[in-house]
């Protein structure tokens, strides 16, 4: 599991996280939600050591991530992969080469073996026909599926998704939802998802954590959120343009 223990993070005078306590249970799909700028992406970046907390700590399977040297972070990132909002593929490499890159980098396969494994992963995300295509001309949804295949290359226990359906058309967005659900249900991969997409949130989440003013405002099931009478939660769900969220 991933544990955030009293995590504080500020950038200059601006407090982003003001004492976040959150545990991501193994095998679940946990969504982190909240308004723009509330610190959702900042939070998940702590799990892979891209950011260190000003105070508090982060643990993955009992190992403290905070303060790890590069060698230790390398091992954490094998177990805990991240899919960024904009896919971050190399346009000078084919889709298969992008997916094979972590395998080659860590010396796990020779060129032929890495290619075979890349094709298997691309098939798992329904992108095998595009193995020899370059990412640039592909649609956003296709690029994100390739990014997921690359994230799975090292067989991680956890995959962190930063706004996986942003900018996607509804059909592509639902494909990504099905892919995330399949990772958790069929492969046992723990998924932590930052999202504003209410359709995704209420369709595939096991639990939802809402950040507000630097802390977890509500943690519960989708049903807990639907039944909440907290005006901040209600405003987020309904998208009302006026109310307490305006003060954040």
Q: Whole-angstrom Cα distance, residue 192 to residue 50?
A: 16
> Which of the four pLDDT bands, split at 50, 70 and 90, describes residue 247?
very low
Token duo for residue 78 = 């094998």
Quote the pLDDT of residue 69. 87
pLDDT in tens, 84-129: 887 789 999 999 999 999 888 776 778 888 899 999 999 988 899 9
In a domain, 195, yes or no: yes
In a domain, 214, yes or no: yes
In a domain, 147, yes or no: no
Domain that holds residue 81: 2-87+158-247
DSSP character for 128?
G
* Residue 66 belongs to domain with CATH number: 3.40.50.300
Q: Whole-angstrom Cα distance, residue 42 to residue 161?
A: 12
In a domain, 152, yes or no: no
Q: Whole-angstrom Cα distance, residue 123 to residue 116?
A: 11
Quote the pLDDT of residue 30. 97
| Over residues 6-15, mean pLDDT | 95
Quote the pLDDT of residue 12. 93
pLDDT score of 205 more than 80: yes
In a domain, 126, yes or no: no
In a domain, 167, yes or no: yes
> Which of the four pLDDT bands, split at 50, 70 and 90, describes residue 78?
confident
- List, as one string, the DSSP characters of 14-64: EEEEEEEEEEE-TT-EEEEE-STTSSHHHHHHHHTTSS--SEEEEEETTEE
In a domain, 146, yes or no: no
Which H helix or E strand runs over 99? helix 95-105
Q: How many domains does the chain have?
A: 1
Quote the pLDDT of residue 248. 41
pLDDT in tens, 152-167: 998 899 999 999 888 8
In a domain, 224, yes or no: yes
């Amino acid at each position: 599991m991933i544990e955030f223990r009293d995590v504080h993070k500020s950038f200059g005078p601006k407090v982003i996280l003001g004492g976040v306590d959150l545990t991501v249970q193994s095998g679940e799909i946990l969504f982190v939600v909240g308004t723009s700028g509330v610190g959702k992406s900042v939070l998940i970046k702590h799990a892979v050591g891209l950011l260190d907390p000003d105070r508090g700590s982060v643990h993955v399977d009992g190992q403290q991530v905070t303060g790890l040297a590069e060698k230790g972070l390398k091992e954490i990132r094998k177990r805990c992969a991240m899919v960024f909002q904009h896919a971050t593929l190399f346009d000078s490499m084919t889709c298969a080469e992008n997916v094979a890159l972590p395998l080659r980098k860590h010396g796990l396969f020779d060129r032929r073996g890495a290619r075979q494994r890349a094709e298997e992963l691309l098939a798992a995300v329904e992108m095998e026909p595009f193995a020899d295509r370059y990412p640039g001309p592909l649609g956003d949804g296709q690029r994100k599926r390739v990014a997921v295949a690359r994230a799975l290359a090292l067989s991680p226990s956890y995959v962190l998704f930063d706004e996986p359906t942003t900018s996607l058309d509804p059909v592509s967005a639902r494909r990504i939802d099905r892919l995330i659900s399949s990772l958790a249900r069929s492969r046992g991969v723990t998924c932590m998802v930052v999202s504003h997409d209410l359709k995704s949130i209420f369709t595939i989440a096991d639990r939802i954590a809402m950040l507000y003013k630097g802390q977890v405002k509500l943690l519960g099931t989708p049903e807990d959120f639907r039944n909440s009478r907290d005006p901040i939660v209600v405003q987020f769900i309904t998208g009302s343009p006026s109310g307490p969220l305006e003060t954040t």
